Structure 1
Amino acid sequence: MTLHPLLRLIAGVMFAVSLLLTHYVDPNWVWFSVFICVNLVQSAFTRWCPMITILKKLGIQEG
């Protein structure tokens, strides 16, 4: 899997997990969802995403 599809997969899974944790474990997990959303919005404006940096260091290639 290439970089950008993998990034979308990770973001979607993280968001789904955070919603499940919010519902089943503790309502304060909603802040994890907020963190994910804020990071996605900032990356749209700055064109820098921390997860892309991590994935590139792990050797994931751009498609």
Structure 2
Amino acid sequence: MNLERSLRLLAGMMILFSLALAHWVSQRWLWLTAFVGLNLLQSAFTNWCPAMSILRSLGLKDACPAPEKKRLLP
């Protein structure tokens, strides 16, 4: 599984988990849902997410690696 799919899986699981906890335990768990949503929103603009750093450190690879920058010869 690549990094992007793992990140979507993690975000979806966190949202469903927090909604279940809000339903059966306490509505304060909805703050976790809001945090995940805000994190997804900011990552859309910055292309950085703390979970991506963690997943990369666990060894997951990007689906399409960024193209290498061409070096200009002198």
The normalised TM-score by structure 2 is: 0.82
Q: Which runs of 5+ in 1 are unaligned?
A: none
The answer to whether structure 1 residue 29 and structure 2 residue 4 are counterparts is no
Q: Select the structure that is richer in helix.
A: 1
**Alpha-carbon distance between aligned partners in 1 of 2:47 and 2:59, rounded to the nearest angstrom:** 20
Give 1:16's aligned residue.
16
Q: CA deviation at 1:29?
A: 0.5
Report the 3-state secondary structure (helix = DSSP H, G, I; strand = E; otherwise coil) of the residue aligned with 2:13: helix
Note the alpha carbon deviations across 1:5-54, whole angstroms, 9 max, x for none.
11101100000000000000001101010000000001011111111110
Higher relative contact order (CA 8 A, sep 6+): 1
Q: Which has the higher Rg, Structure 1 or Structure 2?
A: 2
**Alpha-carbon distance between aligned partners in 1 of 2:34 and 2:24, rounded to the nearest angstrom:** 17
**Alpha-carbon distance between aligned partners in 1 of 2:2 and 2:44, rounded to the nearest angstrom:** 19
Q: How many residues align?
A: 63
Give 2:53's aligned residue.
53
Taking only aligned residues, the RMSD between alpha carbons, in angstroms, comes to: 0.6
